[in-house]
Structure 1
């Protein structure tokens, strides 16, 4: 139960990628130039998100054909997604970031690797070398303040397979809206008569109220000292040497955690508690992380876990699911280490579930208004970042579904990543991989707790 994911015997450090061309792709039709308002959620997400999508070879779609088709398709996609072809701009009057929808274009890179797709190894195991498949900077062509909000890289492998690496500024999309963008890209590439999802680009829907109203305390948010706005980010990088492990939970392991939570429920949980896969995995990871980090000396220490919640269906009226910006808020769960150590799993699942239930329309509006007043960031012991069920690998392109889709991973002590697994048959299963980076001694404790507590 809960096996360690084995490191591939030969993890390539260099994929030997050669860039053949770099260009800008512009919208295929002219749109009216305008400034796009960015919500207070968008405002704090001014950093790049990098994903890579691996495709096996397909005779009808060799990489050079896909590259041309993708470039042509992007031009069409930038009409409904005009903001992606724009540039981030700081409005001097308001002091707010906004997007100048100026049709300045997205980056497009064509590259090749000297390896076959099979030779680069296990795609599920996060290889730092995968960063070579995504272009992150464009400064050698444009001025520093003229950076594309999206850069697409098509890297071919010797076998005829290829990788589509995408870097986007997080202010443009959250996970769901990026999935919709990929679905629309696939639809346009297949020459379908309409988009899969018509994007809703009205971000005024998440504007703060005037005047702001903050009836909740928001311990999950941290105020930024005046004058330090440009020096902080959502989570600061650590200089510590970190050990790195991936813990694989099969669908059977997750079912066992659910049964463990149900068996210990009794009076420990609220009638509205949702014993979901995400909630039980997060509760399990939370207790392991908290108890591995100095809890021996202070069992009364409060531990806080953060995780994202989609607010689209929670607002009144609900936001359309097609809302194309960031519509997620950071939920939190807090408990003393003693409770994490001694309490039944059901209680911890209830606390995680409560964090999700807390985010009502009133709470979400309060958090957005809090951002208007304090321009702060999420704040907690660590964040669970879940790519588990975003479904990027389920998108059907003319050249087929990806063999695997994943984020480019950077080892961070304060972020635990959940990402999908591929089962032994090569098909997409419902298992999950848990990526953890901790100092060596803490990792030993985490690993021991992970297996011990998983067995109940």
Structure 2
């Protein structure tokens, strides 16, 4: 970890605000990051066989970082390594998203693995050239950015996701293997199914089922938002270097009414996801940069919004600390406001050993049963499926 921080030296510093607008800078103080190590008198078998989320004792596998909302003058990463009696170990991390996105995090972890295996330097040298994604002197916002605009239908006090306290929420993991994905794919016209990715299919069906479970009024606007890696499709000169580990994500949005989403075939939701994804091109990324700069880094508007971050292509299986293969991992549900609104798509081995995608969902207790029932309908074989009705 220390050797990797030499190459990722900004991560050993601290964030500070610059008046008058509160812009953040990193003071490269070389203070470092906390590293906690411990031994546990348990084996991995005691965590369950097969090892599937939700993993037991997640809080114990992560060190306490205090108030996660306070990021000034605090470490930019927290690490905790626990050795188990069987020889396995866990690596728990808290990371400051201001400094890096998910791609950047995994570049850092890969570098730690390189150094742990005795390499003289990271296989991919890190690059911090944030000026590549800074605003022009004359900002030009050329695209619509719904994620930073309030819903056009006004009052959002009916959004139970925002108003329900954590005590009234429940978290559950949903597993999608080849059979479930095939069933969802068979629910849309063949021509659309052939050009749809697994991400698009799962995003569409989960957005639809979640909206139905939450029981929004039919005329209310609902949104689907996803984290898009701006490194993909960046066509400007100079290009974003392969080793860039800062934040390079934008948030495209699809919007429709609850009745349009849940009252139409699944193909309608899928087409909306397709459209939002296709619009996240080079121009959209540049326009987002200009918007953020001109409006002094506004917060995302998350009312009646389902947010997704796809982690399945990050390559966590490539991380090798030299002690053996990664068995399991992922982002735990933390019961904060972001977790309530955000679902991660993560790779996992299912109970039968098949590769699958696991998606955490956090909902009010009254809505979870409805959501699970709706998902169950869409993941059945077509011959055994009944009509997928909504509560609208």
Q: 1:236 Cα deviation (Å)?
A: 6.7
4+ runs deviating over 6 angstroms: none
Could you tell me which residue of structure 2 aligns to residue 306 of structure 1?
Answer: 225
Measured in 2, the distance between the counterparts of 1:197 and 1:423 equals: 31
Distance change in 2, residues 1:401/1:154 (3 Å) = same
Q: 1:130 Cα deviation (Å)?
A: 0.9
Q: RMSD over aligned Cα, in angstroms?
A: 2.6
Match of 1:124 among 42, 49, 52: 52
Q: 1:134 Cα deviation (Å)?
A: 1.6
Could you tell me which residue of structure 2 aligns to residue 377 of structure 1?
Answer: 299
Q: 1:149 Cα deviation (Å)?
A: 0.9
Distance change in 2, residues 1:179/1:407 (3 Å) = same
Measured in 2, the distance between the counterparts of 1:425 and 1:194 equals: 39
Measured in 2, the distance between the counterparts of 1:406 and 1:299 equals: 35
**1:395 paired to 2:319:** yes
Distance change in 2, residues 1:404/1:393 (3 Å) = farther
**1:417 paired to 2:344:** yes
Q: 1:368 Cα deviation (Å)?
A: 1.5
Could you tell me which residue of structure 2 aligns to residue 445 of structure 1?
Answer: 370
Contact 2:16–2:73 (Cα < 8 Å) also in 1: no
Q: 1:193 Cα deviation (Å)?
A: 4.4
Structure 2 gap segments, 5+ residues each: 151-160, 383-392
Contact 1:128–1:408 (Cα < 8 Å) also in 2: no
Structure 1 gap segments, 5+ residues each: 1-73, 224-234
Could you tell me which residue of structure 2 aligns to residue 260 of structure 1?
Answer: 187
Could you tell me which residue of structure 2 aligns to residue 34 of structure 1?
Answer: none
Please give the secondary structure, in 2, of the residue aligned with 1:76: helix
Could you tell me which residue of structure 2 aligns to residue 328 of structure 1?
Answer: 249
Please give the secondary structure, in 1, of the residue aligned with 2:223: strand
Please give the secondary structure, in 2, of the residue aligned with 1:118: helix
Contact 2:328–2:348 (Cα < 8 Å) also in 1: no
Contact 2:227–2:249 (Cα < 8 Å) also in 1: yes
Contact 2:228–2:251 (Cα < 8 Å) also in 1: yes
Q: TM-score, normalised by structure 2?
A: 0.83
Contact 1:190–1:398 (Cα < 8 Å) also in 2: yes
Q: 1:169 Cα deviation (Å)?
A: 0.8
Could you tell me which residue of structure 2 aligns to residue 84 of structure 1?
Answer: 11
Could you tell me which residue of structure 2 aligns to residue 16 of structure 1?
Answer: none
**1:156 paired to 2:83:** yes
Please list, as runs of the form range in 1=range in 2, the aligned pairs for 1:21-420 lying within 5 A after superposition: 74-92=1-19, 95-121=22-48, 123-127=51-55, 129-137=57-65, 146-222=73-149, 238-240=164-166, 241-263=168-190, 265=192, 274-295=195-216, 298-317=217-236, 318-374=239-295, 375-380=297-302, 381-411=305-335, 412-420=339-347
Q: 1:222 Cα deviation (Å)?
A: 4.4
Measured in 2, the distance between the counterparts of 1:138 and 1:341 equals: 41
Please give the secondary structure, in 1, of the residue aligned with 2:113: helix
Contact 2:17–2:72 (Cα < 8 Å) also in 1: no
Q: 1:98 Cα deviation (Å)?
A: 1.0
Q: Please list the CA deviations of residues 104-136 of structure 1 after superposition, one character each: whole Å capped at 9, or x if unmatched.
A: 111111112232222233642224731221224
Contact 2:145–2:253 (Cα < 8 Å) also in 1: no
Please list, as runs of the form range in 1=range in 2, the aligned pairs for 1:429-444 lying within 5 A after superposition: 429-444=354-369
Q: TM-score, normalised by structure 1?
A: 0.72
Q: 1:315 Cα deviation (Å)?
A: 2.5
Q: 1:255 Cα deviation (Å)?
A: 2.7
Q: 1:243 Cα deviation (Å)?
A: 2.7
Q: 1:211 Cα deviation (Å)?
A: 2.5
Moved more, 119-128 or 304-313: 119-128
Q: How many residues align?
A: 359
Measured in 1, the distance between the counterparts of 2:8 and 2:255 equals: 39
Moved more, 315-324 or 169-178: 315-324
Distance change in 2, residues 1:253/1:145 (3 Å) = closer
Q: 1:75 Cα deviation (Å)?
A: 1.8
